[in-house]
Every structure is written in structure tokens, then in C-alpha cells.
Amino acid sequence: MPATLKALIFDFNGTLCLDEPILLRLYQRVLAEEGVALTAAAYEAEYLGLSDAAIFAKALAAAGRRAEAAAVAAMVARKSRHYLEAVAARPPLAPGAADLVRAAAHRYRLAVASGAPRREVDWVLRQAGLRDRFAALVAMEDVERGKPDAAPFLKALAGLNGGARPVDRILAEECLVLEDSLEGIRGAKAAGMRVIGVASTYPLERLAAEADAAVAALADLAPDALARWFGGLSGTPG
């Protein structure tokens, strides 16, 4: 018998917030200050979907530099300041994201699982008037291992179940993850969750090859359609 959909877990960068071009520019800026180059092609192939700390550590190592924790933390802090300045005037929320979140919150428990610093995610969601719709928010600081590890998604599920009676606890197989990156899709699958790829960053066909389904944009999704698809009553989630 198909599981019943009870929770949606959203990725943030590239899914709820269409900020990947901003992120690449800021990663390049901070790394350039350290004398390290990061090309767009290398970012897409090897870094996209990783946490900020993992991106800086990996780029330093690739350049033959020691990725000391204090240096990486300082780079993350600089990037975070630049990010908040870049999105201050108008956070680039994905079209349809606010409507989907507000509608879905009436039917499901919602969480965010992100590799970005908490203050960035929290600020954008508050500016959009959406923060209170999410019962759990997992950010870079909350897990030792980020995507493609399962930890961010399992931590989000634990947050959704905080204080719940055993009979009311949500299971991993009752969660649906919305992700734009291959690393995120792999992490969600490792957590035992179903996942829909959102083609805001990668081509639809690349996401469809690893996700349970893929759509062009969040605007293509609706809570009722997701429930029918999740329960096996529809062949498409949109």
C-alpha cells in the first residue's frame, strides 16, 4: 500500500530561492581573495549542492592549500555578509514558491534542509513572510555532514517530529523532498525519502534520471497533485 504524504522538505538555494548565479559570483569573489580560482564549469560539476563550508574547503584543497577550520569559517562569514547585501533589496524567491508553501502548510508539515548558513535562509524566509510556515529549518551549522549525506534530511525529519507522540511521528517514507541539485537528490534518497527534482539549475532530464520525478519549476506543483502522485493515483506530480 502506498505511503501517505505527510511532510514536504524543501531545499533552499536554487529551489525556494533562485540565487545560484549570486552564489557562484560570491564563492568566486571570496576564493579570489584567497588567490584561488573557481570556474562556473567546475562549480556545476563538482561543488553545486554542497554546503558553504564544504565548497570552500574543497576549493582550497584543490588548489593545494590547507583548509583549516578557522580559515574556512572566516570565508563562510565573508560570503554570508556579501549574500545578505546582494539580496537585501529583493530576495530572489522562485516564482510560485510562496503560493506553494502557503498552500502546502495547510495540508502538510514543512521543513527546510539547506547547506547555507542559517542566517541567510532565515532572513530570506522572514522577508518573504514564510518563516512561520516551516516547523523545522536545518542549515549548514546543524549537521556535521552535508549533502549528499542523508544527515540534513534526517535532521529535518527529527525536527518535524519534535514533541510528537510515537503514534503521530512522521516516517521517512512519508516525506517528499523538493531539490534542484544532484547532491541533494542523492542525500534525500539516502534518507529513505522520495524526491522531486526542480529544474532551476540542472536540465530536467538529468534530474529525472536520479529523482522519483522532475518538474521544470516549483510553480508546476500543487499540494493536491502532489498527494495524488505520492499515493500512486497520478503519473505526474504537477
Which pTM was predicted? Answer: 0.93
| Helix, coil or strand: residue 11 | coil
* Distances, alpha carbon 67 to alpha carbons 25, 58, 62, 79, in Å: 21, 8, 10, 16
What lies within 8 Å, CB to CB, of 160 at 6+ separation is 7, 109, 111, 135, 136, 170
Side chain identity at residue 185, one-letter code: I
Distance (Å, whole) CA 139 – CA 26: 18
Distance (Å, whole) CA 201 – CA 116: 16
196: left (phi over 0), alpha (psi -120 to 50) or beta: beta
Domain 20-87: assigned CATH number: 1.10.150
pLDDT in tens, 15-42: 999 999 999 999 999 999 999 999 999 9
Q: Write down the domain spans for the chain.
A: 7-18+92-230, 20-87
165, pLDDT greater than 90: no
Distance (Å, whole) CA 40 – CA 21: 9
pLDDT of residue 3: 83
7-18+92-230 is a CATH 3.40.50.1000 domain = yes
Place 154 in a pLDDT band, splitting at 50, 70 and 90. very high
Helix extents (H) in 3-106:
20-33, 40-42, 52-62, 69-87, 97-105
pLDDT above 70 covers a percentage of the chain that reads 98
Q: Which long-range contacts (CB under 8 A, 24 or more apart) does 119-127 make?
A: 119/80, 119/84, 120/80, 120/83, 120/84, 121/12, 123/84, 123/91, 124/12, 124/16, 124/17, 124/87, 124/91, 124/93, 125/16, 127/91
Note whether 155 and 127 are within 8 A (CB): no
Lowest mean pLDDT among 29-43, 118-132, 158-172, 207-221: 158-172
pLDDT of residue 234: 66
Place 169 in a pLDDT band, splitting at 50, 70 and 90. very high
* Distances, alpha carbon 193 to alpha carbons 8, 90, 133, 171, in Å: 10, 33, 21, 9
pLDDT in tens, 77-135: 999 999 999 999 889 999 999 999 999 999 999 999 999 999 999 999 999 999 999 99
pLDDT of residue 1: 60
Please list the residues that pair with 199 across neighbouring strands: none
Distance (Å, whole) CA 212 – CA 24: 27
